Amino acid sequence: MDRSYVSEFTLFMNQYLEQHPEVVKDQQRRWDLDWYPEVDLIAQQEAAEDRAPDDAYGFNWFTWRAKPDREKPH
């Protein structure tokens, strides 16, 4: 088996990533946000400020689950 073979796609991606190092940095940043959420505290604060308040119509799962169960027929 020829282990020196590299596909055209792999060659393209390697060349692209060498020419665009910002893509690699962005990937690493997103990885850090997913696995280490405390890394980007500014982004967390912005997300908290952008969060919409709950409308309390019961479409929110947590709101629905918080309601007492209705009596079940015997």
**pLDDT tens string 25-59:** 988 887 877 777 666 777 778 878 877 776 666 56
Question: Considering the entire predicted model, what is its pTM?
Answer: 0.42
Radius of gyration of the chain (CA): 24
In a domain, 60, yes or no: no
- Please report, for residues 29, 53, 67, the alpha-carbon distance to residue 56 in angstroms, rounded to integers and kept in the order given: 35, 9, 11
If one counts the domains in the chain, the total is 1
In a domain, 5, yes or no: no
In a domain, 38, yes or no: yes
- Phi, psi values for residue 5, rounded to 5°: -70, 135
In a domain, 74, yes or no: no
In a domain, 7, yes or no: no
- Please report, for residues 3, 18, 28, 57, the alpha-carbon distance to residue 22 in angstroms, rounded to integers and kept in the order given: 30, 10, 10, 43
pLDDT at 43: 76
In a domain, 55, yes or no: no
Structural domain span for residue 37: 19-50
In a domain, 62, yes or no: no
In a domain, 58, yes or no: no
